[in-house]
Amino acid sequence: MASPAAAHTVEQVLEAKRDGKALSASQIAWFVDAVVDERVSRAQAAAFLAFVMVRGMERDETVALTLAMRDSGQVMRWQVDGPIVDKHSTGGVGDKVSLVLAPLWAELGFRVPMISGRGLGHTGGTLDKLEAIPGFRTDLPIERLQSVLAEVGCFMNGQTAELAPADRLLYALRNETSTVPSIPLITASILSKKLAEGLDELSLDVKFGRGAFMQSRPAAQQLADSLVQVGQGAGVRTRALLSPMHAPLGMTIGNALEVEEAVACLKGQGPAELAELTCALIGRDEAEVQRARTLLDSGAAYERWCRMVRAHGGDPHAPLLGGGCSTHDVLADRQGEVEALDALDLGRAAFELGAGRRQAGEAVHPGVGLRLHVRVGDRVQAGQPLLTVYHADRGLQTALTLIGAAIRLR
Ligand code: URA
């Protein structure tokens, strides 16, 4: 039986967007289906992306694109009570918030089915961090995820092939055609995957600064507004906060080092900025932020973390993988005040050591990375250690050059 959407043609859709006209929800749904079914060529899909990039999309069009991409695959349904929530960060350096947030939110009575990604380039990925825990599996099947969510209240797993396949196809084409930095395309890409998690509520951390996807605060605000409006338009209570990513978050960069810091935070002993950002993302108002903070400081969420790690096959008490790295201290060459710890260069330094990957599928080293000993604004003496480099078989000299450029004293 022919569907009404079958009345559209590729030419109509492309010509309308080329000429700056708004597309209907039905045209957009038809086009996304046609991309997934390969009824449009790669060239036609690339032209669509380029026209959207240049002409933009109205809010209703972006909602339609998001929903069509979400519905290109499986939309999860959870057999649990309690509000189903998650957060998404646009990515940064040293950003281990998810590791703290999921068990803490679960401890507060919410259900957190967190689907996470791997690092690519200078920003880290939650799955790579978790895999520094011996035995931790990030590829649990959906039936097991159902029971982990019911029993533990949270999980942290990788994306299945069935989740928003349209995004995988379109994202790869965007990479090839320089159409990544388009607010409607970024919005639909991020939200299609998050909405496929079957959420009631989504909290977004939109980062700005040298180490972030959006370099300026106004650009991050524009993305945050789009994400919130489209998320709400798609029927999920969505909120966003902007957070700076000029310097790394917390004191560590690198997979095992970040797990160690997140665990300290879950025991109530983490750096203040990590605890503050985590609680700010959880709380819908000041009272909820305070409640999250009190619980975090009490260390109660650590037990929940241990249960989640065990449910994923990991051993929460075993030494993390990648131990035995060599260390190298970077010392202050004079006294002064720390003016900058550039997130981008420090992220690149950790990447050069092997903490990140150049191409999807490459292995990362769990143990390498950087441990900072100072924050921006600290006074230091000549000869004082500024950071420790954990290195293995590669990248030390390049990393040291990047670190030299990243740290500025005044
Ligand atoms: N992250 C995504 O998932 N998609 C984008 O387009 C950008 C960042």
Q: Is residue 89's pLDDT more than 80?
A: yes
CA nearest ligand 1 atom 1, residue: 190
Residue 189 annotated among the catalytic residues of the structure: yes
CATH fold group of domain 85-311: Pyrimidine Nucleoside Phosphorylase; Chain A, domain 2 (3.40.1030)
- Environment class of 400 (CB within 10 Å of its CB; exposed 0-12, middle 13-18, buried 19+): middle
> 122 pLDDT exceeds 90?
no
Q: If you average pLDDT over residues 27-55, what whole number do you get?
A: 97
The domains of the chain are located at: 10-70, 85-311, 326-409
pLDDT at residue 4 is higher than 70: no
Q: How many percent of the chain have pLDDT more than 90?
A: 90
Q: How confident is the model over 22-51, as a mean pLDDT? A: 97
Predicted TM-score (pTM) of the model is: 0.93
Number of C-beta neighbours around residue 76 at 10 A: 20
Strand, helix or coil for residue 323: coil
194 included as an active-site residue:
yes
Q: Provide the residue count of the chain.
A: 410
Please write the tens of the pLDDT for every residue from 228-269: 999 999 999 999 999 999 999 999 999 999 999 999 999 999
- Between CA 125 and CA 138 the distance in angstroms is 12
Q: What is the distance, to the nearest Å, from the Cα of residue 234 to the centroid of all Cα atoms in its chain?
A: 20
Give yes or no for residue 410 having a pLDDT over 50.
yes
User: Which residues, in sequence order, are CB contacts of 117 under 8 Å at separation 6+?
Assistant: 125, 126, 127, 158, 159
pLDDT at 207 over 70: yes
The span from the CA of 219 to the CA of 232, in Å, is 20
Average pLDDT over residues 139-153: 95
Decide: helix, strand or coil at residue 206: strand
Average pLDDT over residues 378-382: 98
Q: What mean pLDDT do residues 154-177 have?
A: 91
Tell me what the pLDDT averaged over the chain comes to. Answer: 95
- Does the pLDDT value for residue 1 go beyond 50? no
Classified by CATH at the fold level, domain 10-70 comes out as 1.20.970
Q: Taking residues 314-329, what's their average pLDDT?
A: 98
- Helix (H) / strand (E) containing 222: helix 217-233
Average pLDDT, integer, range 136-165: 94
Q: Decide: 304 and 370 in contact? Cβ < 8 Å.
A: no
207 is catalytic: no
Ligand 1 binding pocket, CB closer than 6 Å: 186, 189-190
Average pLDDT over residues 342-366: 92
- What are the helix (H) ranges across 270-390? 272-282, 286-298, 301-311, 343-353
| Per-residue model confidence (pLDDT) at position 339 | 98
Q: Which of 8, 17, 70, 87 is an active site residue?
A: 87
Residue 200 zone, left/alpha/beta (φ > 0; ψ -120 to 50; rest): alpha
pLDDT digits (tens, 9 = 90+) for 178-194: 998 899 999 999 999 99
Could you tell me the two tokens for 135?
Answer: 């035995």
Residue 45 CA, ligand 1 centroid: distance in Å: 18
In the predicted model, is pLDDT for residue 103 greater than 70?
A: yes
**90: annotated active-site residue:** no
Question: Cα of 193 to ligand 1 centre, how many Å?
Answer: 10
Sign, CA dihedral 359-362-366-367, equals: negative
- Stretch 357-368: mean pLDDT, rounded? 88
Q: State whether CATH 3.40.190.10 applies to domain 326-409.
A: no
Angle between helices 301-311 and 142-152 in degrees, nearest 10: 160
- Given this model, what pLDDT does residue 46 score? 97
Using alpha carbons, select from 203, 209, 244 the residue that is nearest to residue 89.
203
- Distance, in Å, from the CA atom of 172 to the CA atom of 179, rounded to the nearest integer, reads 10
pLDDT at 2: 41
pLDDT of 82 reads 83
